[in-house]
Amino acid sequence: MTFHSMWAELRPIGRSSASGGYRRFAWTGADTDCRDWFRQQAESRGLTYELDRNGNQWAWLGDPAEGDAVVTGSHLDSVPDGGAFDGPLGVVSSFAALDELRARGVRFTKPLAIVNFGDEEGARFGLACVGSRLAAGQLTVEQAHRLTDADGITLPQAMERAGYDPAAIGPDPERLGRIGAFVELHVEQGRALDLSGDQVGIASAIWPHGRWRFDFRGEANHAGTTRLVDRHDPMLPYAETVLAARREARLAGAVATFGKIAVEPNGVNAIPSLVRGWLDSRAADQATLDTVVDGVERAAREYAEAQGVELDVVRESFTPVVEFEHALRDELARILGKDRDAALNVPVLGTGAGHDAGILSGTVPTAMLFVRNPTGVSHSPAEHATEDDCVAGVTALADVLEGLACR
Ligand code: HGY
Ligand code: MN
Ligand code: MN
């Protein structure tokens, strides 16, 4: 099983020695090193390597022009101090599954491709799934050109500095039109498989989810000499809004997180002029998500007004609910269930985590396989999957690819 050697090669890239987490942000040196690794894996297997107009990487077996291709893969970028498995498990498992199929001596009747979608986490520019959104026409070139990181570098500038031509970005219907099915394997970001005792599961749906930026603008002043009654401190309404988010989510049975904050001027002895907080909220359905976000925004406006602080709320990223195509989902369940006791059917589970498969689901038939995560922890250096479960995932992916591409 080639999984282990690839895993060992990829593991040190972009890993922080301080946290043990990963910092593989779009169009940075770590991202380039991951991309170099992907290209080396593709070319060492005699696959045809392609870099598409949006910076996504493809490794082809067979002629893409034949169409109805079976595509698998995921992403290699990470959230700040993310875990080793979120994204890379899908890419490494794809190459290992191809090696397994070649060892089985199967005959491919359709083109096969392995893909690395760029900038899935949106850690640098704030928008999730940039590479797949651009390809699917869900992000316009103008919108992409406006994406800016914390240092004021735009996406096109970052692409250019990394050696890519940003003038080429845009919808890629011809490429997506070649895909008959996209199957993404991903570490589960939850404990459903741990609780059910299964190594592998199939995705049913992705919750609607988004990211909203709350800008609280107050009045900078001296922390030591400004009377409390004279303050317009944006940190107060921000803090109250964080608690309101938890309350609204709890009441609605949803989730809401303020995980990122930027304070200006960010001085210990200075009342801030600006507190910028990012809300990530997700719910099982759109109406519930709307209820939560509207409730948080309403509360934030009341708190801001009470402190004489201005508030702007901007939606920076949004993904509607995804219901994976039933026919492909059921085909995966049939393929994976055929050698098992009917009572032990492969579990089908929903998720609150976004994926490129979700973005593409409106354009091509997509499905997802999840590999057990014993603690459910993700977006953390503690994210983990056992070696045995990773190997089970590779075998399941190989079975699925054989069932779909080797009829
Ligand atoms: O945020 C997400 O759900 C994914 O990890 N990008
Ligand atoms: Mn992630
Ligand atoms: Mn992911």
Domain co-membership, 63 together with 139: yes
What is the tens place of the pLDDT at every residue in 301-355?
999 999 999 999 999 999 999 999 999 999 999 999 876 665 557 999 999 999 9
CATH of the domain at 259: 3.30.70.360
Domain co-membership, 103 together with 143: yes
The domain in which residue 242 lies consists of 215-319
Number of domains in the chain: 2
User: Which residue ranges make up the annotated binding site for Zn(2+)?
Assistant: 75, 86, 121, 186, 379
Domain co-membership, 285 together with 144: no
Domain co-membership, 167 together with 31: yes
Domain co-membership, 326 together with 307: no
Domain co-membership, 243 together with 118: no
Domain co-membership, 166 together with 129: yes
Ligand 2 centroid–CA 109 distance in Å is: 33
pLDDT for 60: 98
Q: Where are the alpha helices (DSSP H) in 309-364?
A: 326-337, 356-360
Distances (CA, A) of 354 to 132, 206, 321: 12, 7, 10
Task: Read off the amino acid at residue 254.
Answer: A
Domain co-membership, 312 together with 369: no
Distances (CA, A) of 238 to 33, 233, 249, 297: 38, 9, 17, 11
Predicted TM-score (pTM) of this structure = 0.94
Give burial (CB, 10 Å; 0-12/13-18/19+) of 80: middle
81 vs 21: CA distance, rounded Å? 4
Of 319, 341, 362, the position where a domain reaches its end is 319
Who lines ligand 1 at CB under 6 A? 120-121, 128, 353-354
Atom of ligand 1 nearest to the CA of 86: 5
In a mutational test of the pocket of ligand 1, which residue from 187, 379, 380 has the highest number of ligand atoms less than 8 Å from its CB? Answer: 379
What is the tens place of the pLDDT at every residue in 95-112?
999 999 999 999 999 999
What is the tens place of the pLDDT at every residue in 374-397?
999 999 999 999 999 999 999 999
Question: Is 261's pLDDT higher than 90?
Answer: yes
